[in-house]
Structure 1
Amino acid sequence: MPYLNVWSSRSSSSMLPHMDSELASSSNSVFTWRRTESWVLAYTFSHNFRYTRNKTKFRKQDCCLSTEFFPFRCEKKDSFGPCFALTHASEEQAIDGDVIKHNSQSFHCVQLEEKRVYDDDDDDVGNEEDEAGRVKCDKVDVRALAQSLHFVKTADEVDEVLKNKVELPLQVYSSTIRGFGKDKKLNSAMALVEWLRRRSKDTIGSISLNVFIYNSLLGAIKEAGKYDFVDKVMDDMVSEGVHPNVVTYNTLMRIYIEQGRELEALDLFKEMPKKKLYPSPASYSTALFAYRRLEDGFGAITFFLEAREKYQNGEIGNIVEENWEYEFPKLENFIIRICYQVMRQWLVKSADVRTNILKLLTDMDKAKIQPSRAEYERLVWACTREEHHVVAKELYNRIREMDTEISLSVCNHIIWLMGKAKKWWAALEIYEDLLDKGPKPNNMSYELIVSHFNILLSAARKRGIWRWGVRLLNKMEEKGLKPSSREWNSVLVACSKASETSAAVQIFRRMVEKGEKPTVISYGALLSALEKGKLYDEALQVWKHMIKMGIEPNLYAYTIMASIYTAQGKFNIVDSIIKEMVSSGVEPTVVTFNAIISGCARNGMGSVAYEWFQRMKTQNITPNEVSYEMLIEALANDGKPRLAYELYARAINEGLSLSTKAYDAVISSTHAYGATIDLNVLGQRPPEKKKRVQIRKSLSEFCNIADVPRRSRPFDREEIFTAQTKGT
């Protein structure tokens, strides 16, 4: 990155603003300089800079490489405005408080098109240029000279270009070398340095290699990414008796970091005090960047705390030109940025890093460095896996504690993540905060939290945990969430599975009172509950009401009604239902016939059950294990052991695996009625299935899914009427 330097020719002092090219640290240095002639280097890298009087700031705008060299006469009230030297900060480093002076001519580097981007308070800089007076020199077409050097590859080619040219100052060469690095022309840069080395050994010439030339070459190597030449350059510095300065170490540190040698870069930082070199703000920034590359947030915080203690104790920051009062706050911002980037990098990896992130956040609190709300929110967006819910909740709490606004999209993301991690109640807490503290939840917030309730209600429905279903409905209404038919149906089905007829009736009534239109699933669940409670007349009324409301029955509803009429022995109506199903396009299935056969078996009608079994076969419906088991039990109990035996044998031949209960029914009926059978055909008695306490198991499974304790407060049946009693 080029830098702006003012070199006065007649005034007693000049301002030299410079900034480390890698980590954007800046400082001001004032020193005395006197010269009568000047050279101009117009070297545009695609950067525009803004210089202000109070603070040195640079703003990169566009980028294109254009190199021009030409001597100029700096007239008073020049239309070009202030004359700035464009050079790297590394060349202007002061050693022991003094500026290194060389036997070459001084020079001015001016960006001719800079003036239009300066602030109005640049007048003092212009006044300094006015005091510089006039500078005289011969004109040389340095643009053509630079273009010729741009393509050289050997020192001999450089000599061919420069042998008859006027001697230029080393600053021009150092800037040219860096320009070659920007343009990936490292061979040209190496050739120019080799030519300078030859000239330095020429007794006629006045050129001698210095640390600025080598720093420029190292910078070119870094820009070009040709790190194999680093050792050669360092060896050349030793052989030439040139001692590295702080910028040399800074450049080497950055090269090591680019090579993935971060630990060696940190060793270089520790080596500087041993060489009696004082690390600059750029040195500290580079070291912090090494910790960033190592993803060592803890090491970065420790390093920063040591630096802050030294700064507060006055051990560093005593060099006025380094402007530590301006630079140290930037280091504080940088360490926050590093910790944020490290945590984000941890989150995108597959390893579980919850503990490390929470510890790093705690260490940041102890160090009194706090990320901004925006950084916290960006970290929340990086939380995408189930195990990240702990981190996301911690970040959410920190944002809330900042007494600042929080993005609604971030809150929605956390609600989604909590659901993914099955932390439903934590998600509900976020939603409650939106209602109480803001921002106001939107449709996405509503849909997310309702989807979480649906998952829990579905789990309760599948396991018949109807009490939790009721509580979930009550919780939804308590939080201002209106259950839809889907939620009501889940609770109705759970009540039906648990044979809780009265609960199903009350939930159905609440559903209607809340203005939610029942669906065929709602009616089917209620019919099933009434059928299990043997409330056949009430079931018939519900059926008629469903037809009246224009809701077409589905297979489940038809099957339940067939089972109800079977239990009543009204087989003519059962037959009508089957015909109506076919005419309505709802084909009966094995489940429909199993319901009829089961109803016959429970009511001691074995012969009728066998007739429906035969009818099922005529309609090309294949019986399953349930069909055979229920029919065998019905025939065995109806005094038909031989027929039961034949059906059992047929089921075995079809590859079906019947239960122990069916086997025992055949054997028991045979003994009771004195029938003769071949036990070898029946085979061995099937093993008994282990009896499971299904209700307890289902409740445990639900508690695990719902993230609720196994032992909760006893269910009060009044909870079924919660919505009704609240209104009174």
Structure 2
Amino acid sequence: MQTLTTCPSKCNYYVLPHLGFELDFYCYIEATSRRRKKLCPDFSVSQSRRTIGYPRLKFDPLLKPKKLDIGYLAPLAWALEDQATDNTSSTDNSSVNGESESINCLNLDEARDGTYEQEMHGGMNSEEDGGVENETKIDVRALALSLQAAKTVEDMEEILKDKGDLPLQVYSTIIRGFGKDKKMDSALILMNFLKRKKIETNGSFSPNLFIYNSLLGAVKQSEQFAEMETIMNEMAQEGITPNVVTYNTLMAIYLEKGEGDKALSILEEIHQKGFTPSAVSYSQALLAYRRMEDGFGALNFFIEFREKYSRGEIGKADDGEDWQTEFVKLENFTIRVCYQVMRRWLVSNDNLSNNVLKLLGDMDNAGIPPGRAELERLVWACTRIDHYTVVKELYGRIRMRYSEISLSVCNHVIWLMGKAKKWWAALEIYEDLLDKGPKPNNMSYELIMSHFNILLSAAKKRGIWRWGVRLLNKMEDKGLKPGSKEWNAVLVACSKASETTAAVQIFKRMVENGEKPTVISYGALLSALEKGKLYDDALRVWDHMVKVGVEPNAYAYTIMASIYTALGNFQRVDAIISEMITLGIELTVVTYNAIISGCARNGMSSEAYEWFHRMKVQNISPNEITYEMLIEALAKDEKPRLAFELYVRAYNEGLNLSSKAYDAVMESSQTYGATIDVSLLGPRPPDKKKKVQIRKTLNEFYDLADVSKKSVPFDRKEIFHSQTEEGSQ
């Protein structure tokens, strides 16, 4: 442990240098053996801005003392006492996500007068006594280290017997140092030594309030809280009345114990005892609300304090506080406490978003809103889906009240919007970056592109081609270059919706924007052309695809097989099947279903039945779609008996055919006079639900994308977005 070293300077002054336990000052003391002269201090006080600081007392060594009184140590003693309170009551070393909770709110008074000095030092008065001055040197650091080894009061007496009469400030410094090093046993032994010395000197030398406050500070530092009650009882027995410093230390102890409510009760006791709370007292109370995570309590406490301050009930001129400065510090501390509580609410497992929003509103009403830094840190604390409303509010506040905002914060908001499936809101944040700044970076681009892809995928899945087109247009408007993935999503949506014209135009725009079409692009376009029965255009697209070296996949081959089936060119259908086998592309039921469906739609039931047998030869099992399409084709082509046999086979294979196939068999048998055993068909299947209407699907998309349902109606001119923009320029 590094303790206090007292050594004489060239001017016969003791020098008290910087202490390891955070005592930061120099003071000059002239030592004599018989007579002590008072040194008039010329000192200044400075404190840390971030943490409740320790006073730096600078005494002018050029002032030659005329008389000496032990009371000249009062400024030093008072500074040490206030520092002990600072350490124990106003500095909180715990943190939330690595951020300090401390605040600087304690100012030092001017040096106290002789009356105060006598009270602090037990009434030891100076005496004018001529004599020879003998220099003495006390190495307090070494003394403290040696005292640590003492196990009993007798051991300490042995160590101190040759040290003479040491000032009480030396003992208090050592006690506080013991507390800092968590040597509470040594502090208590030293206290017992002082009590024994009181008996030996008939009370002329005894522990005073300063010593007891230091001992309480050691209790707080060493976390030996069980000793607090014993010490307070001893003070009462000795007739030592606690002061504000004592109560502030008690508040700090309760805070360390996690008993914020008891710390607040001490503040009430300060008022009841007739004392004037210091700025430290109020900061301790705010810290208690912070520990209890009661942001509303902290805010209401400050509002009440502010009202009393404005009425002049707090901040009297004779209390030694610079209340104008302390008021500002307490206001800032209140903002910080509320911010930290809101942050704790956000990182808790419970959904306390409504509490955060309410406290933000209450702080606005109180006229002490959090600053940009606090708002941005709160944004970072929002990580869950249920934080969406909070992060939206925080982002809006920053944009409205400040000219700048961190890009990383904007990116975090975009990310959280996407996580909460509020992709359209995320796009609006990106628009703000483009319009208001800061300039988006690669992270912004990647985040917003991922959101676009999610929306485009939803549009593709639901066949909502209009919103797919609108999303592409918005991307281009905002300087985002759609890739093949984005273009393909819209092409597939157009294909699913049988929007042939839209698919052709989107394909053209894709090429014009320098994006090379993939096999998915060609497949979607071929499907749209096939559904629009634009077979010649589809054949030209196929030839172009092969010419540019895009290798067809199973889906593209299937579309072409369906097209050639519709054209009745079964030779080309056979060639496609052979080519697929040669290239190692697996034949599936999907390809055969496309051929059989093409035959059924074009009244070629015999060809459909032939391909049904060919798929059986290829060991490809037909599914419900295969049977239903074939049964309907045979029933329409006056082949009710064959349709009946296929239905019975499917039923026996455990396939669940639709009621439409069942009705087709029954109607065909009755129409064409076929005799069938209806019992073999089984019960009539229930009617399948009708296909979801496009309007319902569109409403689902509105909800998914968080878009207003009153948005501008789609204009088909939006399909030609690129040409329209170029023509207008």
**Corresponding position: 1:4 with 2:13:** no
Distance (Å, rounded) in 2 between the aligned partners of 1:258 and 1:90: 24
- Counterpart in 2 of 1:237? 235
In structure 1, give the amino acid aligned to 2:68. Answer: R
- The 1:10/1:38 distance shift into structure 2, 3 A limit, reads closer
1:565 offset after TM fit, Å? 0.7
1:421-467, Cα deviation, whole Å (9 max, x unpaired): 23333322322222222221122222222222222221111111112
Distance (Å, rounded) in 1 between the aligned partners of 2:138 and 2:602: 118
- The 1:7/1:402 distance shift into structure 2, 3 A limit, reads farther
Distance (Å, rounded) in 1 between the aligned partners of 2:596 and 2:58: 104
Distance (Å, rounded) in 1 between the aligned partners of 2:702 and 2:140: 82
In structure 2, give the amino acid aligned to 1:502. Answer: T
- Counterpart in 1 of 2:592? 593
**Is contact 2:457-2:489 (8 Å) kept?**
yes
Aligned equivalent of 1:35, options 39, 45, 68:
68
- Counterpart in 2 of 1:282? 280
**Corresponding position: 1:485 with 2:513:** no
**Is contact 1:105-1:169 (8 Å) kept?**
no
In structure 1, give the amino acid aligned to 2:252. Answer: R
In structure 2, give the amino acid aligned to 1:24. Answer: I
Distance (Å, rounded) in 2 between the aligned partners of 1:2 and 1:275: 31
Distance (Å, rounded) in 1 between the aligned partners of 2:154 and 2:54: 38
- Counterpart in 1 of 2:262? 264
SS at match of 1:727: helix
1:269-295, Cα deviation, whole Å (9 max, x unpaired): 121122121111111111111111112
- Counterpart in 2 of 1:565? 564
Distance (Å, rounded) in 2 between the aligned partners of 1:301 and 1:38: 43
After superposing the two structures, state which structure 1 stretch, 633-642 or 655-664, moved more: 633-642
1:16 offset after TM fit, Å? 7.7
- The 1:373/1:714 distance shift into structure 2, 3 A limit, reads closer
1:265 offset after TM fit, Å? 0.6
Distance (Å, rounded) in 2 between the aligned partners of 1:302 and 1:286: 15
- The 1:304/1:38 distance shift into structure 2, 3 A limit, reads closer
- Counterpart in 1 of 2:299? 301
- The 1:145/1:719 distance shift into structure 2, 3 A limit, reads closer
Distance (Å, rounded) in 2 between the aligned partners of 1:309 and 1:697: 58
Distance (Å, rounded) in 2 between the aligned partners of 1:463 and 1:265: 61
Distance (Å, rounded) in 1 between the aligned partners of 2:323 and 2:109: 19
Give me the TM-score of the superposition, normalised by structure 2.
Answer: 0.83
**Is contact 1:12-1:33 (8 Å) kept?**
no
Distance (Å, rounded) in 1 between the aligned partners of 2:710 and 2:275: 69
1:162-189, Cα deviation, whole Å (9 max, x unpaired): 3564232221111111111111111111
1:594 offset after TM fit, Å? 0.8
SS at match of 1:708: coil
1:398 offset after TM fit, Å? 2.7
SS at match of 2:551: coil
**Corresponding position: 1:102 with 2:121:** yes
1:652-705, Cα deviation, whole Å (9 max, x unpaired): 333221111122222233334444433333221111123244322211211111
Distance (Å, rounded) in 1 between the aligned partners of 2:525 and 2:66: 99
- The 1:556/1:106 distance shift into structure 2, 3 A limit, reads farther
Distance (Å, rounded) in 1 between the aligned partners of 2:327 and 2:414: 39
- The 1:544/1:89 distance shift into structure 2, 3 A limit, reads closer
**Is contact 1:104-1:169 (8 Å) kept?**
no
**Is contact 1:28-1:323 (8 Å) kept?**
no
- The 1:708/1:372 distance shift into structure 2, 3 A limit, reads closer
**Corresponding position: 1:310 with 2:301:** no
- Counterpart in 2 of 1:214? 212
- Counterpart in 2 of 1:131? none
What does 1:99-498 align with in structure 2 at a 5 Å threshold?
99=117, 100-102=119-121, 136-139=134-137, 142-163=140-161, 165-204=163-202, 206-317=204-315, 318-319=317-318, 321-498=320-497
- Counterpart in 1 of 2:641? 642
Distance (Å, rounded) in 2 between the aligned partners of 1:482 and 1:642: 59
Give me the TM-score of the superposition, normalised by structure 1.
Answer: 0.83
**Is contact 2:175-2:187 (8 Å) kept?**
yes
- The 1:542/1:506 distance shift into structure 2, 3 A limit, reads same
In structure 2, give the amino acid aligned to 1:11. Answer: L
**Is contact 2:465-2:493 (8 Å) kept?**
yes
Distance (Å, rounded) in 1 between the aligned partners of 2:67 and 2:120: 11
1:296 offset after TM fit, Å? 1.7
Distance (Å, rounded) in 2 between the aligned partners of 1:19 and 1:240: 35
In structure 2, give the amino acid aligned to 1:10. Answer: K
**Is contact 2:263-2:288 (8 Å) kept?**
yes
1:264 offset after TM fit, Å? 1.2
In structure 1, give the amino acid aligned to 2:364. Answer: D
- Counterpart in 2 of 1:603? 602
**Is contact 2:382-2:391 (8 Å) kept?**
yes
**Is contact 1:177-1:220 (8 Å) kept?**
yes
- Counterpart in 1 of 2:724? 725
1:211-235, Cα deviation, whole Å (9 max, x unpaired): 1111111111111112122111111
Distance (Å, rounded) in 1 between the aligned partners of 2:124 and 2:561: 110
**Number of positions where the alignment pairs a residue of Structure 1 with one of Structure 2:** 659
- The 1:639/1:651 distance shift into structure 2, 3 A limit, reads same
- The 1:249/1:33 distance shift into structure 2, 3 A limit, reads farther
**Is contact 1:297-1:342 (8 Å) kept?**
yes
Distance (Å, rounded) in 2 between the aligned partners of 1:602 and 1:624: 18
In structure 1, give the amino acid aligned to 2:227. Answer: F
1:378 offset after TM fit, Å? 1.5
**Is contact 1:245-1:277 (8 Å) kept?**
yes
**Is contact 2:71-2:121 (8 Å) kept?**
no
- The 1:525/1:142 distance shift into structure 2, 3 A limit, reads closer
SS at match of 1:242: coil
After superposing the two structures, state which structure 1 stretch, 272-281 or 606-615, moved more: 606-615
In structure 2, give the amino acid aligned to 1:394. Answer: E
SS at match of 1:279: coil
**Is contact 1:197-1:209 (8 Å) kept?**
yes
In structure 2, give the amino acid aligned to 1:276. Answer: G
- The 1:717/1:204 distance shift into structure 2, 3 A limit, reads closer
- The 1:142/1:698 distance shift into structure 2, 3 A limit, reads closer
In structure 2, give the amino acid aligned to 1:605. Answer: M
SS at match of 1:621: coil
In structure 2, give the amino acid aligned to 1:194. Answer: N
- The 1:663/1:704 distance shift into structure 2, 3 A limit, reads same
In structure 2, give the amino acid aligned to 1:266. Answer: L
SS at match of 1:227: coil
What does 1:617-636 align with in structure 2 at a 5 Å threshold?
617-636=616-635
1:614 offset after TM fit, Å? 2.0
Distance (Å, rounded) in 2 between the aligned partners of 1:90 and 1:187: 31
**Is contact 1:36-1:136 (8 Å) kept?**
no
Distance (Å, rounded) in 2 between the aligned partners of 1:224 and 1:161: 24
Distance (Å, rounded) in 1 between the aligned partners of 2:631 and 2:703: 40
In structure 1, give the amino acid aligned to 2:240. Answer: V
After superposing the two structures, state which structure 1 stretch, 146-155 or 619-628, moved more: 146-155
SS at match of 2:200: coil
- The 1:93/1:219 distance shift into structure 2, 3 A limit, reads farther
1:38 offset after TM fit, Å? 11
**Corresponding position: 1:521 with 2:539:** no
Distance (Å, rounded) in 2 between the aligned partners of 1:36 and 1:95: 12
Distance (Å, rounded) in 1 between the aligned partners of 2:277 and 2:649: 93
Identity, in percent, stands at 62
- Counterpart in 1 of 2:95? none
**Is contact 2:120-2:209 (8 Å) kept?**
no
After superposing the two structures, state which structure 1 stretch, 209-218 or 161-170, moved more: 161-170
- The 1:216/1:33 distance shift into structure 2, 3 A limit, reads farther
Gaps of 5+ in 1: 51-59, 61-87, 108-133
1:420 offset after TM fit, Å? 2.2
- Counterpart in 2 of 1:24? 52
Distance (Å, rounded) in 1 between the aligned partners of 2:49 and 2:574: 91
